[in-house]
Amino acid sequence: MTPRDLFAKIRMSPEINDNAAVKYSDYQLISALNSVLSIVYNTLSFSSNSILTESTQIALIDSAGTLPDDFLSVVSVFAADGTTLNPQSKSFDVDEHTYKIIGNNIYSKNDTVQLVYKPYFVEVEYDTMDTAMILPNYFSELLKKYSVISLIGGINKQDSTVVQQVANDVYALTSGREYTAVEVKPAWRI
């Protein structure tokens, strides 16, 4: 799913009815989508689900390595052998079993670390409209719905009712996602 895919759905919605792209510019759609995406990303980054989770290996030179450009928060850190590293207080030195983050750097006595993290929201821009979004396709209806609301009535960060409704819909859409299991009962147990 790309922003351009969403824009086609938004333009076809009955409330907008802008198939010819004359009522709303791409820039207006980008602004509306960014308003909604900001709320969705913030909601997901503070939840326990793994939808926005990224992973990268970081080489450490003299016990320091640079965090990814989109780093927001740590989920977990592993040594090269898969051992989980523990966070260390900023006032203590790190060893092979610990790490600490100061500024844009991660510190540990390992040669490399595997960082699992939550990225921060990077706004959609005109030149990234054809870039695939990190969010799964099942978010398309939620993004369309609230982008339309933003276009016709406006969503701003102070509109707590709409912001809370977006957050509630995100939680409803994603709750228990990692823990879903399908149990198949043998025919003799039915």
The amino acid occupying position 189 is: R
pTM (predicted TM-score): 0.70
The per-residue pLDDT of the chain, averaged, comes to: 85
Residues 6+ apart with CB under 8 A from 39: 146, 155, 163, 166, 167, 170
User: Is residue 185 predicted with pLDDT exceeding 90?
Assistant: no
Q: What are 160-184's pLDDT values in tens digits?
A: 676 777 777 776 766 654 444 444 4
pLDDT at 189: 46
Q: What are 111-145's pLDDT values in tens digits?
A: 999 999 988 888 999 999 999 998 899 999 999 99
